[in-house]
Amino acid sequence: MPNKLTFENLLDAGVHFGHLKRKWNPSMAPYIFMEKNGIHIIDLHKTMAKLDEASSAMKQIAKSGRKILFVATKKQAKDIVSEKIKAVNMPYVTERWPGGMLTNFPTIRKAVKKMTSIDKMATDGTFDTLSKREKLQVMRQRAKLEKMLGSIADLTRLPAAMFIVDVSKEYIAVREANRLNIPVFAMVDTNSNPNDVDFPIPANDDASKSIALIIDYVAASIEEGLSERKMEKEKEASAKDKKAKEEKAARKKAATAEDDEDMEEEVVEKKRSISVDDDDDLDDLGTKGKAKKAPAKKPSAKRRDD
């Protein structure tokens, strides 16, 4: 896990400040510590516990190689989210949420493909065949698509989870995620409903310091999950190489053993053939000896007849 947050860090960032008492959502009662000067104070004990829970869950998602979509269209959070989340290579939306981005994802992908096709036109020379007015129109379209969808160009399928800053402002995104059963992590202030999200983090979602602190912590958890995934892949690759080397050595050993057996068989066959040849030679010598001795008996037979 990233460096543990302390109470001092949370207090300095103003994470404990909620909204005015009259604007509160009763569902946030378990996360409210007290009310002071008409403003609700968030219980930082619960903030830390929920933040750790959410961070560990996001770490596991990142470790599995899936994507987490960050949504923060409010002015205070735009730059913070785009800077921190781009570093961990996760998709994010900091401009207006395009309605139907999740529920009508294929159409959004078509728009992203349109953007890539315009880029291709610029590189393959098709752009030069267009008139000046057509070029201007295409470039305007490209700039608009880049502004709205440039940060999700690498999102080829639905995200595994979503992280939202200010649930009340991004209610459309929350509804789409709930409809598709996508887990939602969110910074929830005292005027929001924590029941709409799966992993609520009670915190001040209006102060830029508070948003930066939470996003930093979450981004560090994701980065840790990605680094663990990379290490596991390297271990798997080294294990595969080792296994392949062992198999190769075993095959070589088996081949050598077979060659030795073949050589032994050849030697045995040669010995057999040599012994057979020797036997044949002995037989030949024996028959020749008999053939030589046979004519010597004939004269003695004639003598007897005489």
CA angle 241–238–248, rounded 5-degree value: 15
Q: Which residues of 130-167 are buried (b: 16+ CB within 10 A; e: fewer)?
A: eeeeeeeebeeebeebeebbebbeebeeebbbbbbbbb
Taking the C-alpha atoms of residue 195 and residue 178, their distance in angstroms, rounded to an integer, is: 11
135-192 pLDDT tens trace: 888 888 888 888 888 788 888 889 999 999 989 999 999 999 999 999 999 999 999 9
The one-character DSSP state at 133 is: H
Q: Which domain holds residue 125?
A: 7-236
Q: Provide the percentage of residues in the chain whose pLDDT is more than 70.
A: 87
The pLDDT score that the predictor gives to residue 287 is 57
CA angle 158–1–239, rounded 5-degree value: 75
Tokens 């490209």, residue located: 142
Could you tell me if residue 259 is inside a domain?
Answer: no
Residue 244: pLDDT band (50, 70, 90) is confident
Domain count, the chain: 1
Name the strand (E) or helix (H) holding 199: strand 199-202
Could you tell me if residue 268 is inside a domain?
Answer: no
The pLDDT score that the predictor gives to residue 275 is 65
Could you tell me if residue 69 is inside a domain?
Answer: yes
Could you tell me if residue 80 is inside a domain?
Answer: yes
Could you tell me if residue 278 is inside a domain?
Answer: no
Average pLDDT of the chain is: 83
- Tokens at residue 276, please? 């057979």
87-128 pLDDT tens trace: 898 999 998 888 888 999 898 888 888 888 888 887 887 877
Backbone angles phi, psi at 69, to 5 degrees: -90, 125
Could you tell me if residue 292 is inside a domain?
Answer: no
Could you tell me if residue 258 is inside a domain?
Answer: no
Q: Are 214 and 203 in contact (CB under 8 A)?
A: yes
Could you tell me if residue 304 is inside a domain?
Answer: no
- Tell which wins on pLDDT, 250 or 56: 56
191-202 pLDDT tens trace: 999 999 999 999
